[in-house]
């Protein structure tokens, strides 16, 4: 119980940053400072978390733990951020 609670809180805390990053990329159409390698590593990490939850269901119920949705949501957001990086990587920075 406590493990799932703290795991969920960790994923929520990590997950808060991705919408901010996505919104900034969409607003500015500029992505300097982002690392596609870092984003790919984070995606791989979340994919490993999803895989772990599928391969190791809850011992009491035999079902996949609901926290898997947080892993999947974070994975999806990082994938969107990586896609935006790939889309906007050649855009020049706008000077106001």
What tens digit of pLDDT does each residue of 1-18 get?
Answer: 567 889 999 999 999 999
Structure tokens at 44: 């791989």
pLDDT in tens, 14-62: 999 999 999 999 999 999 889 999 999 999 999 999 999 999 988 888 8
Domains of the chain, first to last: 2-88 (1.20.1280)
Contact yes or no for 13/55 (Cβ under 8 A): no
Q: For residues 91 and 30, is the Cβ–Cβ distance under 8 A?
A: yes
What pLDDT sits at residue 25?
93
Residue 95's pLDDT band (cuts 50, 70, 90): low
């Amino acid at each position: 119980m406590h493990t799932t609670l703290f795991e969920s809180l960790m994923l929520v805390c990590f997950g808060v940053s991705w919408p901010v990053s996505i919104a900034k990329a969409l607003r500015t159409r500029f992505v300097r400072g982002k690392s596609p390698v870092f984003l790919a590593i984070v995606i791989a990490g979340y994919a490993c978390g999803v895989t772990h939850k599928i391969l190791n269901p809850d011992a009491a119920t035999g079902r996949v733990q609901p926290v898997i949705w947080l892993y999947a949501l974070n994975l999806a957001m990082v994938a969107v951020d990586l896609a935006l990086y790939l889309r906007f990587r050649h855009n020049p920075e706008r000077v106001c």
